Amino acid sequence: MRDETEERGCVVALDVGGTGMKGALVDRDMTVLHTVRRATPRRWGADAVIAEIAAVLHELDRNAVTRRLAVRGAGVVVPGIVDEERRTAVHSANLGWRDLPLADYLEEASGLPVTLGHDVRAGGVAECRLGAARGAHDVWFVPVGTGISAAVFCEGRPVRAGGYAGELGHVVVDPGGEPCACGARGCLEGVASAAAVAAAYSARSGHPVEGAAAVAERLRQGDPDARAVWARAVEALSAALATATTLFAPEVVVLGGGLAEAGDLLLGPLRASLARRLTFQRRPELVLAELGDMAGCLGAGLAAWEAAGGASSAQRPPASLWEVVS
Protein backbone atom coordinates (compact mmCIF):
# COMPACT_ATOMS: atom_id res chain seq x y z
CA MET A 1 0.00 0.00 0.00
CA ARG A 2 1.32 3.47 -0.90
CA ASP A 3 1.62 5.98 1.90
CA GLU A 4 -0.03 9.43 1.85
CA THR A 5 3.09 11.11 0.46
CA GLU A 6 3.23 8.68 -2.45
CA GLU A 7 -0.44 9.27 -3.22
CA ARG A 8 0.19 12.99 -3.48
CA GLY A 9 3.13 12.74 -5.88
CA CYS A 10 3.13 13.95 -9.47
CA VAL A 11 5.46 14.68 -12.36
CA VAL A 12 5.72 17.67 -14.65
CA ALA A 13 5.18 16.84 -18.33
CA LEU A 14 5.92 19.26 -21.17
CA ASP A 15 5.54 18.81 -24.93
CA VAL A 16 7.39 21.54 -26.84
CA GLY A 17 6.20 22.08 -30.40
CA GLY A 18 7.22 24.45 -33.15
CA THR A 19 4.27 26.75 -32.47
CA GLY A 20 3.05 25.85 -28.99
CA MET A 21 3.83 24.09 -25.71
CA LYS A 22 1.50 21.78 -23.80
CA GLY A 23 2.33 21.19 -20.15
CA ALA A 24 0.66 19.20 -17.38
CA LEU A 25 0.91 17.84 -13.88
CA VAL A 26 0.34 14.09 -14.06
CA ASP A 27 -0.15 11.72 -11.15
CA ARG A 28 0.98 8.09 -10.93
CA ASP A 29 -2.31 6.90 -12.41
CA MET A 30 -1.65 9.15 -15.45
CA THR A 31 -4.50 11.43 -14.46
CA VAL A 32 -3.90 14.98 -15.70
CA LEU A 33 -4.30 17.28 -12.69
CA HIS A 34 -3.55 20.62 -14.33
CA THR A 35 -2.62 21.85 -17.81
CA VAL A 36 -1.02 24.91 -19.34
CA ARG A 37 -0.53 25.99 -22.95
CA ARG A 38 1.95 28.57 -24.13
CA ALA A 39 3.18 29.85 -27.48
CA THR A 40 6.67 28.77 -28.49
CA PRO A 41 8.70 31.98 -29.08
CA ARG A 42 10.80 30.51 -31.87
CA ARG A 43 10.89 33.78 -33.82
CA TRP A 44 13.10 35.16 -31.03
CA GLY A 45 15.64 32.35 -31.31
CA ALA A 46 16.77 29.27 -29.41
CA ASP A 47 17.67 31.14 -26.20
CA ALA A 48 14.14 32.53 -25.95
CA VAL A 49 12.66 29.06 -26.47
CA ILE A 50 14.85 27.55 -23.75
CA ALA A 51 13.94 30.38 -21.35
CA GLU A 52 10.22 29.84 -22.02
CA ILE A 53 10.54 26.07 -21.44
CA ALA A 54 12.20 26.78 -18.09
CA ALA A 55 9.49 29.31 -17.23
CA VAL A 56 6.72 26.79 -17.92
CA LEU A 57 8.49 24.18 -15.79
CA HIS A 58 8.68 26.74 -12.96
CA GLU A 59 4.98 27.56 -13.37
CA LEU A 60 3.95 23.91 -13.21
CA ASP A 61 6.22 23.29 -10.23
CA ARG A 62 4.65 26.24 -8.37
CA ASN A 63 1.17 24.96 -9.18
CA ALA A 64 2.12 21.57 -7.71
CA VAL A 65 3.25 23.29 -4.51
CA THR A 66 -0.10 25.07 -4.18
CA ARG A 67 -1.81 21.69 -4.56
CA ARG A 68 0.53 20.16 -1.94
CA LEU A 69 1.89 17.73 -4.51
CA ALA A 70 5.47 16.47 -4.36
CA VAL A 71 7.05 16.76 -7.81
CA ARG A 72 9.09 13.61 -8.58
CA GLY A 73 10.65 14.94 -11.77
CA ALA A 74 9.96 16.44 -15.17
CA GLY A 75 9.67 14.99 -18.65
CA VAL A 76 10.31 17.34 -21.59
CA VAL A 77 9.86 16.26 -25.20
CA VAL A 78 10.94 18.30 -28.22
CA PRO A 79 10.86 17.97 -32.03
CA GLY A 80 13.76 17.32 -34.37
CA ILE A 81 16.54 14.85 -33.72
CA VAL A 82 16.89 13.94 -30.05
CA ASP A 83 19.46 11.62 -28.47
CA GLU A 84 17.80 10.51 -25.24
CA GLU A 85 20.86 8.62 -24.04
CA ARG A 86 23.07 11.72 -24.25
CA ARG A 87 20.22 13.95 -23.04
CA THR A 88 20.87 16.13 -26.08
CA ALA A 89 18.67 17.96 -28.57
CA VAL A 90 20.81 17.16 -31.62
CA HIS A 91 19.05 19.33 -34.19
CA SER A 92 15.82 21.18 -34.75
CA ALA A 93 15.43 23.41 -37.78
CA ASN A 94 12.17 24.80 -36.35
CA LEU A 95 13.58 25.73 -32.95
CA GLY A 96 17.06 26.73 -34.05
CA TRP A 97 19.35 24.58 -31.96
CA ARG A 98 22.05 22.02 -32.63
CA ASP A 99 23.88 19.65 -30.23
CA LEU A 100 22.21 21.31 -27.25
CA PRO A 101 22.57 19.62 -23.81
CA LEU A 102 19.01 20.66 -23.12
CA ALA A 103 18.30 18.41 -20.14
CA ASP A 104 21.32 19.78 -18.27
CA TYR A 105 20.28 23.39 -18.99
CA LEU A 106 16.73 22.78 -17.83
CA GLU A 107 17.80 20.98 -14.67
CA GLU A 108 20.01 23.91 -13.73
CA ALA A 109 17.26 26.43 -14.51
CA SER A 110 14.37 24.61 -12.84
CA GLY A 111 15.97 22.64 -10.04
CA LEU A 112 14.06 19.55 -11.20
CA PRO A 113 15.46 16.27 -12.54
CA VAL A 114 14.64 16.36 -16.26
CA THR A 115 14.14 13.45 -18.65
CA LEU A 116 14.52 14.57 -22.28
CA GLY A 117 12.70 12.84 -25.12
CA HIS A 118 11.47 13.16 -28.68
CA ASP A 119 7.92 14.42 -29.11
CA VAL A 120 6.76 11.83 -31.63
CA ARG A 121 8.42 8.88 -29.88
CA ALA A 122 6.84 10.04 -26.62
CA GLY A 123 3.45 10.23 -28.32
CA GLY A 124 4.00 6.75 -29.70
CA VAL A 125 4.81 5.38 -26.26
CA ALA A 126 1.62 6.94 -24.92
CA GLU A 127 -0.49 5.43 -27.72
CA CYS A 128 1.15 2.03 -27.12
CA ARG A 129 0.58 2.18 -23.41
CA LEU A 130 -2.64 4.13 -23.01
CA GLY A 131 -4.19 4.59 -26.44
CA ALA A 132 -4.94 3.03 -29.81
CA ALA A 133 -2.05 0.51 -29.91
CA ARG A 134 -2.56 -1.10 -26.50
CA GLY A 135 -1.47 -4.74 -26.60
CA ALA A 136 0.51 -4.47 -29.87
CA HIS A 137 4.29 -4.92 -29.98
CA ASP A 138 5.09 -3.89 -33.57
CA VAL A 139 3.71 -0.40 -34.06
CA TRP A 140 4.19 2.73 -36.16
CA PHE A 141 2.79 5.96 -34.76
CA VAL A 142 2.50 8.46 -37.62
CA PRO A 143 1.36 12.02 -36.88
CA VAL A 144 0.45 13.81 -40.11
CA GLY A 145 0.36 17.50 -39.33
CA THR A 146 2.47 20.45 -40.43
CA GLY A 147 5.14 17.80 -41.04
CA ILE A 148 5.21 14.01 -41.00
CA SER A 149 7.27 11.86 -38.68
CA ALA A 150 6.97 8.41 -37.13
CA ALA A 151 7.71 6.55 -33.93
CA VAL A 152 8.75 2.98 -34.64
CA PHE A 153 8.34 0.13 -32.15
CA CYS A 154 9.65 -3.35 -32.95
CA GLU A 155 8.89 -6.21 -30.57
CA GLY A 156 7.90 -3.69 -27.95
CA ARG A 157 11.05 -1.58 -28.20
CA PRO A 158 11.41 1.93 -29.61
CA VAL A 159 13.82 2.19 -32.53
CA ARG A 160 15.89 5.33 -31.89
CA ALA A 161 19.15 4.99 -33.87
CA GLY A 162 20.73 7.90 -32.04
CA GLY A 163 17.62 9.96 -32.65
CA TYR A 164 17.57 9.61 -36.45
CA ALA A 165 14.96 6.85 -36.82
CA GLY A 166 11.41 7.51 -37.94
CA GLU A 167 11.79 10.32 -40.49
CA LEU A 168 8.97 8.96 -42.64
CA GLY A 169 8.21 12.43 -43.98
CA HIS A 170 11.50 12.42 -45.86
CA VAL A 171 10.93 9.18 -47.75
CA VAL A 172 10.99 10.21 -51.41
CA VAL A 173 7.66 9.43 -53.07
CA ASP A 174 8.08 11.63 -56.17
CA PRO A 175 11.71 11.81 -57.37
CA GLY A 176 10.87 14.63 -59.75
CA GLY A 177 8.84 16.54 -57.20
CA GLU A 178 9.30 19.86 -55.51
CA PRO A 179 12.40 20.60 -53.42
CA CYS A 180 12.05 19.84 -49.72
CA ALA A 181 13.52 21.90 -46.89
CA CYS A 182 15.71 18.89 -46.06
CA GLY A 183 17.56 19.25 -49.38
CA ALA A 184 15.94 16.35 -51.24
CA ARG A 185 13.14 16.40 -53.81
CA GLY A 186 9.69 14.86 -53.70
CA CYS A 187 9.58 13.98 -50.00
CA LEU A 188 6.35 12.62 -48.55
CA GLU A 189 6.06 15.67 -46.30
CA GLY A 190 5.87 17.93 -49.34
CA VAL A 191 2.89 16.02 -50.72
CA ALA A 192 0.87 14.52 -47.86
CA SER A 193 1.38 16.71 -44.79
CA ALA A 194 -1.58 18.81 -43.70
CA ALA A 195 0.34 21.93 -44.72
CA ALA A 196 1.15 20.50 -48.15
CA VAL A 197 -2.48 19.48 -48.76
CA ALA A 198 -3.70 22.98 -47.95
CA ALA A 199 -1.01 24.59 -50.11
CA ALA A 200 -1.69 22.27 -53.05
CA TYR A 201 -5.43 22.93 -52.94
CA SER A 202 -4.91 26.70 -52.70
CA ALA A 203 -2.60 26.64 -55.73
CA ARG A 204 -4.80 24.32 -57.81
CA SER A 205 -8.17 25.95 -57.06
CA GLY A 206 -7.16 29.57 -56.69
CA HIS A 207 -9.07 29.66 -53.39
CA PRO A 208 -6.67 29.91 -50.44
CA VAL A 209 -7.41 27.72 -47.41
CA GLU A 210 -5.69 27.72 -44.05
CA GLY A 211 -5.51 24.00 -43.36
CA ALA A 212 -6.27 20.45 -44.41
CA ALA A 213 -9.58 20.49 -42.54
CA ALA A 214 -10.90 23.02 -45.04
CA VAL A 215 -9.82 20.75 -47.92
CA ALA A 216 -11.54 17.79 -46.27
CA GLU A 217 -14.76 19.79 -45.97
CA ARG A 218 -14.61 20.73 -49.66
CA LEU A 219 -13.99 17.08 -50.48
CA ARG A 220 -17.19 16.15 -48.63
CA GLN A 221 -19.00 18.72 -50.77
CA GLY A 222 -17.73 17.09 -53.99
CA ASP A 223 -15.10 19.69 -54.95
CA PRO A 224 -13.04 18.15 -57.81
CA ASP A 225 -9.89 20.08 -56.88
CA ALA A 226 -10.13 18.82 -53.31
CA ARG A 227 -10.66 15.29 -54.64
CA ALA A 228 -7.52 15.44 -56.79
CA VAL A 229 -5.32 16.90 -54.07
CA TRP A 230 -6.61 14.46 -51.46
CA ALA A 231 -6.12 11.46 -53.76
CA ARG A 232 -2.51 12.47 -54.46
CA ALA A 233 -1.79 12.79 -50.74
CA VAL A 234 -3.38 9.42 -49.98
CA GLU A 235 -1.37 7.67 -52.70
CA ALA A 236 1.86 9.23 -51.47
CA LEU A 237 1.17 8.24 -47.88
CA SER A 238 0.20 4.75 -49.01
CA ALA A 239 3.47 4.37 -50.92
CA ALA A 240 5.52 5.35 -47.88
CA LEU A 241 3.54 3.07 -45.57
CA ALA A 242 3.96 0.18 -48.03
CA THR A 243 7.72 0.62 -47.77
CA ALA A 244 7.49 0.77 -43.97
CA THR A 245 5.32 -2.34 -43.93
CA THR A 246 7.74 -4.28 -46.12
CA LEU A 247 10.72 -3.36 -43.94
CA PHE A 248 9.22 -3.49 -40.44
CA ALA A 249 5.94 -5.45 -40.68
CA PRO A 250 3.96 -3.45 -38.12
CA GLU A 251 0.83 -4.95 -36.63
CA VAL A 252 -0.73 -1.53 -36.18
CA VAL A 253 -0.20 1.87 -37.77
CA VAL A 254 -1.65 4.64 -35.60
CA LEU A 255 -2.41 7.82 -37.55
CA GLY A 256 -2.54 11.12 -35.72
CA GLY A 257 -2.18 14.82 -36.42
CA GLY A 258 -4.35 17.25 -38.33
CA LEU A 259 -4.90 15.14 -41.45
CA ALA A 260 -6.10 12.17 -39.38
CA GLU A 261 -8.87 14.35 -37.95
CA ALA A 262 -10.64 13.70 -41.25
CA GLY A 263 -11.35 10.18 -39.93
CA ASP A 264 -12.81 7.76 -42.47
CA LEU A 265 -12.29 10.30 -45.23
CA LEU A 266 -8.60 9.45 -44.85
CA LEU A 267 -8.72 5.91 -43.45
CA GLY A 268 -11.06 4.46 -46.08
CA PRO A 269 -9.08 5.33 -49.22
CA LEU A 270 -5.74 4.83 -47.43
CA ARG A 271 -6.66 1.30 -46.38
CA ALA A 272 -7.76 0.49 -49.93
CA SER A 273 -4.64 1.96 -51.51
CA LEU A 274 -2.30 0.18 -49.10
CA ALA A 275 -4.10 -3.12 -49.68
CA ARG A 276 -3.51 -2.78 -53.44
CA ARG A 277 0.21 -2.24 -52.89
CA LEU A 278 0.84 -5.18 -50.55
CA THR A 279 1.24 -8.77 -51.68
CA PHE A 280 3.00 -11.14 -49.25
CA GLN A 281 3.52 -8.64 -46.40
CA ARG A 282 1.80 -8.73 -43.04
CA ARG A 283 -1.04 -6.25 -43.40
CA PRO A 284 -1.18 -3.70 -40.61
CA GLU A 285 -4.35 -2.45 -39.02
CA LEU A 286 -4.73 1.27 -39.70
CA VAL A 287 -6.34 3.08 -36.77
CA LEU A 288 -6.78 6.64 -35.57
CA ALA A 289 -4.87 7.91 -32.55
CA GLU A 290 -6.92 8.06 -29.35
CA LEU A 291 -4.99 10.61 -27.28
CA GLY A 292 -5.22 13.61 -29.60
CA ASP A 293 -2.76 16.44 -29.12
CA MET A 294 -2.00 15.32 -25.54
CA ALA A 295 -0.14 12.18 -26.66
CA GLY A 296 3.30 13.81 -26.51
CA CYS A 297 2.60 15.38 -23.13
CA LEU A 298 1.38 12.08 -21.68
CA GLY A 299 4.44 10.35 -23.12
CA ALA A 300 6.64 12.93 -21.38
CA GLY A 301 4.82 12.12 -18.15
CA LEU A 302 5.37 8.40 -18.58
CA ALA A 303 9.08 8.97 -19.15
CA ALA A 304 9.31 11.17 -16.06
CA TRP A 305 7.67 8.50 -13.90
CA GLU A 306 10.05 5.86 -15.27
CA ALA A 307 13.03 8.06 -14.43
CA ALA A 308 11.62 8.72 -10.97
CA GLY A 309 12.06 5.09 -10.05
CA GLY A 310 9.31 3.07 -11.58
CA ALA A 311 6.48 3.01 -14.05
CA SER A 312 3.21 4.77 -13.41
CA SER A 313 0.40 2.61 -12.10
CA ALA A 314 -1.40 2.84 -15.43
CA GLN A 315 -1.41 -0.28 -17.61
CA ARG A 316 2.22 -1.30 -18.22
CA PRO A 317 3.64 -1.95 -21.70
CA PRO A 318 5.95 -4.89 -22.39
CA ALA A 319 8.89 -4.60 -20.00
CA SER A 320 11.26 -3.80 -22.87
CA LEU A 321 9.30 -0.80 -24.16
CA TRP A 322 11.73 1.73 -22.73
CA GLU A 323 14.90 -0.10 -23.74
CA VAL A 324 17.11 0.95 -26.62
CA VAL A 325 17.37 -1.57 -29.42
CA SER A 326 20.91 -2.91 -29.50
The 3-state secondary structure of 124-161, one letter per residue: HHHHHHHCCCCCCCCEEEEEECCCECCEEEECCEECCH
Do 140 and 152 meet the contact criterion of CB atoms below 8 Å apart?
Answer: yes
Pairwise CA distance, residues 90 & 88, whole Å? 6
Supply the mean pLDDT for the chain. Answer: 89
Return per-residue pLDDT of the chain as tens, 326 residues.
344 444 579 999 999 988 889 999 999 999 999 999 999 998 898 899 999 999 999 999 999 999 999 999 999 999 888 998 899 999 887 788 899 999 999 999 999 999 999 999 999 999 999 999 999 999 999 999 888 989 999 998 999 888 888 999 999 999 988 898 888 999 999 999 988 999 999 999 999 998 899 999 999 999 999 999 999 999 999 999 999 999 999 999 999 988 888 889 999 999 999 999 999 999 999 999 999 889 999 999 999 999 998 655 554 433 333 343 22
Q: Is 233 left (phi over 0), alpha (psi -120 to 50) or beta?
A: alpha
Domains and CATH numbers, the chain: 4-119+292-307 (3.30.420.40), 132-288 (3.30.420.40)
Predicted pLDDT of residue 7: 56
Which of the 8 DSSP states describes residue 168?
G
Predicted pLDDT of residue 312: 56
* H or E element that contains 5: helix 4-7
Q: What is the pLDDT of residues 192-208, one digit of tens each?
A: 998 899 999 999 999 99
Pairwise CA distance, residues 241 & 249, whole Å? 10
Which of the 8 DSSP states describes residue 80?
S
